[in-house]
Every structure is written in structure tokens, then in C-alpha cells.
Structure 1
């Protein structure tokens, strides 16, 4: 449980900027910040090669709702920024490059990329395709899987990936309660909507081309993150589905002999009974019911020693922007769910 007495109780608005505001997750962050009574959305930036344009021009649904111009980013802007926190919805290498500059300026960084998720720098060339240039920051980054956060995060917050959020929330109650067979390797199949690939146009993510296909066998960048969270190997196979947003993850595990349904239920109940953004369901989740919300829905079925756990999240919200907002709320001593409901767009 987070000790809220460790953080400020000041009611002054927390000044913020979003870098990467032109992308899907960045735009969702702008909406959440605009709706959060404790934060102000002071700046929105996109890549340096773009021209300045209103967010409502990029996303017409924000017309008459969010009045901010998305400006082209230059590192030189840092010295003139009067903000408390920067949310980075950027490519991994771009986040890694700008983070030390922001931290040096006394700005809290909430990073939505994978730049600081893994604690082992030598995994980045294999899974992310580049050599980490700031491995010293990996140890200092606070990885904020919010329902399992044990203390108030510091000045560098690493937001979990969308697939790892859905999979880890589904399996951690079982692992923490030592219910899985000793050498069991969870088998996880997870399907994401096309928004998970970002806003950039590509034939492979065109709605007219997407059906349902698996990809990233054994080498997907989220696999080591899931294994880091669960502290065990997994077989993780992601899929791309023909829908806009959401992730449905199906995890198959083997329990220890003699584990009862009551023990499984107790593990999930104890883990999440005081977690407002996790819903334990009596029927299998549907991505349509989490799209546009900050929830993670979880359901399980047991047959002897075999257990299937199904989890569903919105990849852009609980898997990105909403979890980033959760983390920032806690970091600055505000209610954990502030801004998470009035700011979402269904």
C-alpha cells in the first residue's frame, strides 16, 4: 500500500507537458490531464519536423474541449519550460535521449516508452534493436505497475507496456501466493487492436488488410518485461486483431496439486479488492467493455490443475495513458483515479 503521507498535499495545480501529443497515447494523455482537477496541461509537443497545429485539428473530437496547440519540439525548449512533470509518449530512443535533460532541469518524467522498463541494459539490443545509452538510469527508474506499487515513485517513472499490464495483472496474484506448479511456464496468447501499432500509416495495420494474425514469436519486446514482472519464463504470442483498441490476453497455467477454486478466488480477491481499476468478473471479458475506460477486467476458469485466466484492457488507457496518469497522481500525492473517468473518450 502506498504511504500517502510521504508526498505533498499542496493544492496548487501541477504543471505538465506532453511530448508526443500527436500520437494516440499522447492525445489520450492530453484529454486526461485536461480533465484532472489537480493538473494543468501547459504544453503539448510533437516531433521537431512538424508544424504547430491545434490538437483539435489533429483530433476533431477535442473541438471546443481542449484548447492547446501542439508545437514542434526542440531540446532548447527545456530551459524555458515552467512545468513540474513531462509525460513522454515518444519512441524508445527519443525518450531515452531527452529524459536526462528533463531530469537535470528538475522536471519529473513519466515515460510511456520501453526505454526504462527493463532493468538489464544488455536486453535492449536484442528486444529493442538499439544499445541503451543511459544504463545508469535503469536502476533509478520506478516501474509503475500501479496495482502492485509498494511505494511512492520518484522522479523517473516508467509506465508498463500494454501487453505486460494485461498479462501481469492476470498472473501476479497466483504467483505471489505460490499457487503455480514449480516448473510451470505460463502460455499467454494476447490480441491487440490496431491502435497499438501507433498512428503512422502502414499497410500492415490498415483496416482493409488486418484480419487476425500472430506475430513476434519468442522475440517480442514485451516478453522480457512480462518475465521480469512474473520472475519466471513465459511463452508469449501476441496477435493483431481487426478492431481499434483493446487487448484480450488468455493465460494458461498449471496449478500445484490440490489447489482449490476457493484458494484461487481468494488470491484474486485479496490482490484486487481495494484496487478500483481492476474488476473481477463472473464471465469472460470483452474488449468492447473496456475500450475507452481505465479498467482491467479479469476472469478465470479452473479444471483440476489447469487454470485459464482472461484479462482485458484498453491498450491506450490502462495500457498507456491512464496508467501514466495513475502514477503521476500518486507521485504528486493526489487521488489515484483523479481525471481517469471524465477525460476518457469512448
Structure 2
């Protein structure tokens, strides 16, 4: 495509970690053209993204500008697709306005992920906006977008790692099996805004949000059964390593599990089934999910690795946009590296 024929798009929250990764992916995408990037906060003046991320100097000089609602009519005339990398409540307020203006929205927040309004209120502390159309939950390998949906909810990073392991073999688990998900994330998962408790100088490996993290109901919704989720914060920049335990039915063999995973992901280029437990170094700065498993009697153990800012956020959003516009799943996602 020429630049005139590419799909024009905008990123909101472009100054944050996931937003910056979106800017970089879309800047390099062969079929999308990033025409607008709005900062996460109301900055006084526009500035190039390289002012916040000097590593992009000379490679991407996309201008970040403050958002004002009076820009919406102009934006609606110039772009077709909008990516939201904003706080949950901000996305909940802005997304309906963008949809009403005729734009397609890929929302990276949790504003529209949960189908149960009561669960959403409990998890996020505000009422979920009611939209005319149902919002598809965009776990990319398990979503079939028609290409006419006004809004797609991009899954959270922890639920992405857990669901990609468990969904292909959920039918092999015992009826009352409650999978246990222990996952460790780098500090970028807490966002770019400076906080003492997420500073690398302060972080020591620690569990948090035990059995109360807002991603737990999202995992249960995606997998189709209750889970027990214990997240941990690690003293490293990016990536998620999840160890998952589940009880399989009597008689289920290693070969049966391997066949189920292979059949499910045969045509999914961003899932890699690996023979040894993955290291974060294998997936950091890539859009891949690496999955390893071992069966010990009836106990199934997964080790799953993803980059929380890419497969867990920006790259999955672009993967969904690729699907929406009937492009290859990995278009614009390979061999680019990362920003943060």
C-alpha cells in the first residue's frame, strides 16, 4: 500500500509504556499510518516522543500532543482506528465518544473486558458504560473478528499468559480443578508514573493482590472456570513468567496434552511450544508467547513467558487490528525490538 492507502490511526496514552510501544509498532507497520499520538496527561505543549524516550531519537519523531475534546470532529475525519492505552476510567469515558464519531477502538484498559457488570464494579470500582453492541474480548488466538465491531477489549497481560496455556486443554482438566496461577511481572506492569514501591531500587520479589487482583475474574472468564491467582512483582524491567498448576483427568497422557496444544496453535505464528522451561530473555522485546508443560501423574504444570508490554498489551492490540483488517497475524510485529 502507498501511504494514502494505508489505514490511518491514532494512539491515546502514547507517553506511557504500552502507548510508546504502540507508537513504535504502528510507526513501522506496513499497512497502518500513525497520524496522531496523544499524551497520557494534559501536557502544556506538544513534543516529540523522543523527548520522553531518547532511544527513539532519529528513528521516530512522532509528535505527542495534548488531547482536547474539541479535536474529536477533526480526528474523526482523519483517522479510522484508535488505540487507547489509558487508565481504565478514562477509557470508559472516552471510548463511547470515539465510537459515536464512527471510529474503531482497540482498548488496552480493563474498562470493557469483563462481561459481568457486577464483577467489573467490584474489580475496578466504577460502573461499566453500557454500549449498544457487545464488546468482544480480544484474546487474539481465540478471537474471530468480523471487521465491523466498534470496540475490541484487549486482554490484560496476566490473563493473556494464563489463558494461552489453559484454554487449549481446559476440556482435559478434572471437573472441579481450580488452576493455580503464580506469575511474576517486571515493574513496567505498574505503569510509567513514578511510584516509590515500584522503583527498581525498592522492589524485592514479593507477592501482592493475593486472590484479589482484578485480573483474577478476567482469567476465570477467559478460561471458563475459577482460578486461584497470585501475582508477584519482580526486580526487573519487563516480562511475565507464569507457573500454572492444574489437575487433569485420570488417563490423560503427555501425548494427549501435546496434541491438544499443537492442534490449537498450528496456525498461530506468535505461539511457540518449547521443549524446555522458557526464560524471559526469549520473549522480552518480542510479540511471542512461549509455552512449556510437564505432566507429573495427574498434575499438569505449565511455564509460560510473555513480554507484558508487547504480547501482554501493545503487540496483541496490533495483532487484533491485523485480524480486523484481514492482515497476517504477525504483520508489523517481527524484528522490531522494543522501546522501553
For 2:306 and 2:271, locate their aligned partners in 1 and report how far apart those are by CA, in whole Å. Answer: 10
User: Of residues 96, 99, 104 in structure 1, which corresponds to 2:95?
Assistant: 99
For 1:309 and 1:172, locate their aligned partners in 2 and report how far apart those are by CA, in whole Å. Answer: 12
User: Of residues 140, 151, 155 in structure 1, which corresponds to 2:134?
Assistant: 140
Q: 1:83 to 1:195 in 2, by over 3 A?
A: same
What does the per-residue CA deviation read over 1:192-214, in whole Å, with 9 as the maximum and x for residues that have no partner?
Answer: 00000000000110111101000
What does the per-residue CA deviation read over 1:138-194, in whole Å, with 9 as the maximum and x for residues that have no partner?
Answer: x6212111111134351211100000000000101111xx21011110011000000
Q: What displacement does 1:265 show?
A: 0.7
Does residue 79 (structure 1) correspond to residue 79 (structure 2)? The answer is no
Does residue 210 (structure 1) correspond to residue 206 (structure 2)? The answer is no
Aligned to 1:89: 85
Q: Secondary structure at the match of 1:142?
A: coil
Q: Secondary structure at the match of 2:131?
A: helix
Does residue 119 (structure 1) correspond to residue 115 (structure 2)? The answer is yes
TM-score, L = length of structure 2: 0.95
What does the per-residue CA deviation read over 1:93-141, in whole Å, with 9 as the maximum and x for residues that have no partner?
Answer: 1001011111111110010000010001111221112222x1335x621
Does the aligned pair in 2 maintain the 1:166–1:319 contact within 8 Å? yes
Q: 1:204 to 1:48 in 2, by over 3 A?
A: closer
Does the aligned pair in 1 maintain the 2:269–2:329 contact within 8 Å? no
Q: Secondary structure at the match of 1:266?
A: helix
User: Of residues 43, 46, 57 in structure 2, which corresponds to 1:50?
Assistant: 43
For 1:209 and 1:284, locate their aligned partners in 2 and report how far apart those are by CA, in whole Å. Answer: 28
User: Of residues 310, 314, 320 in structure 1, which corresponds to 2:313?
Assistant: 320
Does the aligned pair in 2 maintain the 1:31–1:344 contact within 8 Å? no
User: Of residues 63, 69, 78 in structure 2, which corresponds to 1:69?
Assistant: 63
Does the aligned pair in 2 maintain the 1:170–1:298 contact within 8 Å? yes
Q: What displacement does 1:216 show?
A: 0.5
For 2:166 and 2:72, locate their aligned partners in 1 and report how far apart those are by CA, in whole Å. Answer: 40
Count residues in correspondence.
333
Q: Secondary structure at the match of 1:123?
A: helix
For 1:344 and 1:76, locate their aligned partners in 2 and report how far apart those are by CA, in whole Å. Answer: 35
Q: What displacement does 1:342 show?
A: 4.0
Q: What displacement does 1:273 show?
A: 1.6
For 1:106 and 1:216, locate their aligned partners in 2 and report how far apart those are by CA, in whole Å. Answer: 38
Q: Secondary structure at the match of 1:273?
A: coil
Moved segments of 4+, more than 3 Å: none
User: Of residues 243, 265, 270 in structure 2, which corresponds to 1:272?
Assistant: 265
The 5-angstrom pairing of residues 155-194 of structure 1 reads 155-175=150-170, 178-194=171-187
Aligned to 2:124: 128
TM-score, L = length of structure 1: 0.94
For 2:16 and 2:243, locate their aligned partners in 1 and report how far apart those are by CA, in whole Å. Answer: 28
Which runs of no fewer than 5 residues in structure 1 stay unpaired?
A: 1-9
Aligned to 1:7: none
User: Of residues 313, 318, 343 in structure 1, which corresponds to 2:336?
Assistant: 343
Does residue 286 (structure 1) correspond to residue 282 (structure 2)? The answer is no
For 1:111 and 1:169, locate their aligned partners in 2 and report how far apart those are by CA, in whole Å. Answer: 20
For 2:199 and 2:37, locate their aligned partners in 1 and report how far apart those are by CA, in whole Å. Answer: 27
Q: What displacement does 1:48 show?
A: 4.9
